[in-house]
């Protein structure tokens, strides 16, 4: 099993319940990649295709959009659950360090919240450099430290209490990639003009009385249930709500800051 976010409801759960958190960052990532009409772009570690989907209208009918992810389930949902686009998106199951594309075919490679899961970051970025044309662009986001993200911090406490030691290790993986680590790997892979900045959005989450349970269940449900039974998931969701009570409105919605590190580079 890849060391990554897994979904107990399968990738369908990831697609529905991660969308409110992932969605706001997509436009910022694509803007940083400076996509234009006619570009050929790869969404690396595309998951269910949030970024690929938004890239299609930017590159237009003369452009091409590809998505690659190691997880067959993610690619299945990306292919089956989203509307056909023009240009249509070509999704492929592939690991980041062995991409099934010719050299120098992409004008840009984008990667939203995937780089922290690559077992060998430099090998993966060397591979993205291979498939990117000279002067092509790279843009990726990874999460800033969990301590600065109230929603994820609340989930972390819940997983620490109810998920067992293995689950917290998987959870923490999402927050372990620093800008420095990415910059070092990009340099080793042959990129230049490497830059980074933080991007923060105040995201209005759906009512937490259901969302706290649904998001935990989608990403960590099977592991929490394995550690403590079905009750553990209900208690874990309750803990998330309690932790965020001071930030929760009367209608149970909460608007919370989420911060990503956005790294850009030129091939």
Ligand X SMILES: C[S@@+](CC[C@H](N)C(=O)[O-])C[C@H]1O[C@@H](n2cnc3c(N)ncnc32)[C@H](O)[C@@H]1O
The binding site for ligand X (CB under 6 A) comprises 2, 4-5, 18, 22, 45-47, 50-51, 69-71, 74, 95-96, 112-114, 117-118
Look-up of token digits 């120098």 = 104
Taking CA atoms, 59 is separated from 18, 29, 40, 56, 261, in Å, by 25, 14, 7, 6, 24
- Please report how close the Cβ of residue 266 comes to ligand X at its closest, in angstroms: 21
Q: Judged by CB, which is closer to ligand X: 70, or 125?
A: 70
- Please report how close the Cβ of residue 58 comes to ligand X at its closest, in angstroms: 16
> And the tokens for 251?
């209608």
- Please report how close the Cβ of residue 102 comes to ligand X at its closest, in angstroms: 19
Q: Judged by CB, which is closer to ligand X: 124, or 237?
A: 124
- Please report how close the Cβ of residue 10 comes to ligand X at its closest, in angstroms: 12
- Please report how close the Cβ of residue 134 comes to ligand X at its closest, in angstroms: 24
> And the tokens for 53?
């989907």
Assess contact for 121 and 179: CB atoms under 8 A.
no
Q: Judged by CB, which is closer to ligand X: 95, or 187?
A: 95
Q: Judged by CB, which is closer to ligand X: 122, or 234?
A: 122
Q: Judged by CB, which is closer to ligand X: 112, or 225?
A: 112
Backbone dihedral region of 228: left (phi > 0), alpha (psi from -120 to 50 degrees) or beta? alpha
Q: Judged by CB, which is closer to ligand X: 173, or 247?
A: 173
> How far from chain centre, in Å, is Cα 183?
18
Q: How many residues does the chain have?
A: 267
Backbone dihedral region of 220: left (phi > 0), alpha (psi from -120 to 50 degrees) or beta? alpha
- What DSSP character marks residue 26? H
Q: Judged by CB, which is closer to ligand X: 1, or 250?
A: 1
- Please report how close the Cβ of residue 11 comes to ligand X at its closest, in angstroms: 8
- Please report how close the Cβ of residue 242 comes to ligand X at its closest, in angstroms: 26
Q: Distance (Å, rounded) from C-alpha 157 to C-alpha 240?
A: 8
Is 17 exposed, middle or buried, given 0-12, 13-18 or 19+ CB atoms closer than 10 A?
buried
Residue nearest to ligand X (CB): 47
Q: Distance (Å, rounded) from C-alpha 82 to C-alpha 85?
A: 9
């Amino acid at each position: 099993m890849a060391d990554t976010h897994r979904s107990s409801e399968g990738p369908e759960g990831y697609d529905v319940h991660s969308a409110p958190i992932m969605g706001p960052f997509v436009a910022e990532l694509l803007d940083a990649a400076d996509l234009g009409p006619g570009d050929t772009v790869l969404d690396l570690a595309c998951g269910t295709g949030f970024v690929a989907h938004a890239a299609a209208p930017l590159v237009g009918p003369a452009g091409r959009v590809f998505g690659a992810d190691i997880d067959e389930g993610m690619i299945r949902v990306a292919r089956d659950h989203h509307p056909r686009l023009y240009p249509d998106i070509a999704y492929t199951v592939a690991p980041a360090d062995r991409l099934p594309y010719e050299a120098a075919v992409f004008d840009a490679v984008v990667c939203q919240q995937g780089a922290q899961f690559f077992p060998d970051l430099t090998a993966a970025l060397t591979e993205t450099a291979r498939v990117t044309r000279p002067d092509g662009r790279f843009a990726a986001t990874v999460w800033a430290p969990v301590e600065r993200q109230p929603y994820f911090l609340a989930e972390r406490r819940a997983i620490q209490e109810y998920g067992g030691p293995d689950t917290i290790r998987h959870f923490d993986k999402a927050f372990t990639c620093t800008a420095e680590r990415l910059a070092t790997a990009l340099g080793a892979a042959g990129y230049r003009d490497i830059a980074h900045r933080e991007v923060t959005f105040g995201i209005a989450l759906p009512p937490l009385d259901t969302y706290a349970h649904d998001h935990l269940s989608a990403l960590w449900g099977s592991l929490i249930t394995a550690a403590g039974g079905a009750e553990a998931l209900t208690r874990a969701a309750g803990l998330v709500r309690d932790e965020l009570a001071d930030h929760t409105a009367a209608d149970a919605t909460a608007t919370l800051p989420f911060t990503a590190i956005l790294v850009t580079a030129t091939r």
